[in-house]
Amino acid sequence: MILNTPYYLIDERRLLANLNVIKHVREAAGVKVVLALKCFAAWSVFGLMRRFMDGTTSSSVYEARLGHEKFGKEVHAYCVGFCKEDVREVGAFSDKIIFNSLSQLEALGGLAGGCQLGVRVNPGISFSHFDLADPARKYSRLGVTDKAALKRALPRLSGVMFHYNCENDDFGHFARHLDCIGRVYGDVLGRLEWVSLGGGLYFTKKGYPVGKFCKKLKAFSRAFGIQVYLEPGEAAITQAAQLVTRVLDIVRNKIDIAIVDASTEAHMLDLLIYRQKAKLQENRGGRFTYMVAGRSCLAGDVFGTYRLDRRLKVGSEIRFLDAAGYTMVKKNWFNGLQMPSIVVKRLSGSLDVVRRFSYRDFVNSLS
C-alpha cells in the first residue's frame, strides 16, 4: 500500500508489548489500570486496549465522554476546574468524579448523581525532569495540600488521587515516595475504598524491575485495605507509533537542512514545549550531517540535527519515533498545514488508514 505522507503510524504489535506488561501488573499486584486520555486518545485502537485495561481517566468533559463512548468500562472524570454544567454532564456516564480542590467538592459534589467522589491530593513530593510539568512545583494549583481539611471531608469521599510523577523510570525513587505517602496519609487511606497513584510511571520501559514494582504496589494495597489504580499514558503506548514524513527540500546554510512535510509546532508540539530533539528510527552516527526541520514559518521549527548513514534527497522518508504520547492529542492546524493521516498497523500486519484530514476539517476547526 502506498501511503501519502505525513502520517502517524500506530503499530498494534508494539502496543501489545506494553499491554502485556500492564496485564501482568494488574494480575500480580491486584491493581486496576485506566488509560490517561490526556496522553493518548486515538480510539481506533481502543478495541485492543480495552482487553488489557479497566477503563479511562480524563482531564475534561470531552475526554470523559470519549472514554465512555469509545472505550467503555470505568470512566474517571477529573478536571482542574469543573463548572456546574460539566459535573451534571459527566455525572451521567462516569463512575468516579475527582475534584481538584475541596472548594469544588463542596460546591459541586451534590450535582454528581450516583458517582463516587474523590479529590486530588498534592503530597508536596514529585518526580519530574521539567518544572513546567512538576505537579508539586512552587504555588502548584494541582490538588489539596491541607491534610486536616482533607480529613474533615472524608465522609464525602470514596477515594483520592495522587498524581505526582512525570516520566519516572526510577523504581527506587517511586518506592521511597510511596513509602512517604503511606506514612503521611495512612490514616486517610485506611478510611477510603480506592486510591489512584496517577500516571507518569515508566514501568513498561525495558529493564524496569516489574516484579519489585508489583510487590510494592500489592503491599501498599494490603497495608491500607484499599484498591489501587494506576493511570498510565506514555507507559501504555511508548514506542508504539511513528510520524512518517518525506523530505521536500534540502537547503544549505553552513549545514545541510532537510525540510520535511510535517512540523514540530503542528505535529510534535512537545518537542518545542520541552526543548527536546525528536528520535529517529534509523541508526545515527554516520558521516552525513543534517538538520531536519519542519515546513512551518516558525524559525525554530526543527526536529533536530543528526549524523546519518545515508545521504538525504528530495523524496527520502524520515520516521520519527514516539509519536503517540502527548503528540497526536496536541496536533493542530498551525499555518494550515496538512494534518497527518492516522494509520494503524494491525496485529495481522495489515495497514488500516483510519483517518484522513481534509480542507473541510481545517475550515470546520475555525469560524
In contact, 362 and 333? CB cutoff 8 Å: yes
Residue 47 sits in the same domain as residue 134: yes
Find the Cα–Cα–Cα–Cα dihedral 270, 26, 163, 41, rounded to 10°. Answer: 40
Dihedrals φ, ψ of 104, to 5°? Answer: -70, -40
Residue 255 sits in the same domain as residue 232: no
Residue 72 sits in the same domain as residue 204: yes
Q: Name the grid cell of 342.
A: 492516522
Residue 160 sits in the same domain as residue 306: no
DSSP lists the bridge partners of residue 195 as: 160, 228
**Which domain covers residue 203, as residue numbers?**
12-237
What is the distance between the alpha carbons of residues 341 and 359, in angstroms, rounded to a whole number? 13
Residue 74 sits in the same domain as residue 18: yes
The one-digit pLDDT tens for each residue of the chain (367 residues) are 789 999 999 999 999 999 999 999 999 999 999 999 999 999 999 999 999 999 999 999 999 999 999 999 999 999 999 999 999 999 999 999 999 999 999 999 999 999 999 999 999 999 999 999 999 999 999 999 999 999 999 999 999 999 999 999 999 999 999 999 999 999 999 999 999 999 999 999 999 999 999 999 999 999 999 999 999 999 999 999 999 999 999 999 999 999 999 999 999 999 999 999 999 987 778 899 999 999 999 999 999 999 999 999 999 999 999 999 999 999 999 999 999 999 999 999 999 999 999 999 999 999 9
Residue 225 sits in the same domain as residue 271: no
Distances (CA, A) of 65 to 59, 60, 123, 190, 355: 11, 9, 29, 31, 20
267 domain residue, yes or no: yes
Identify the domain boundary among 216, 237, 258: 237
User: In this structure, how many other beta carbons lie within 10 angstroms of the beta carbon of residue 230?
Assistant: 27
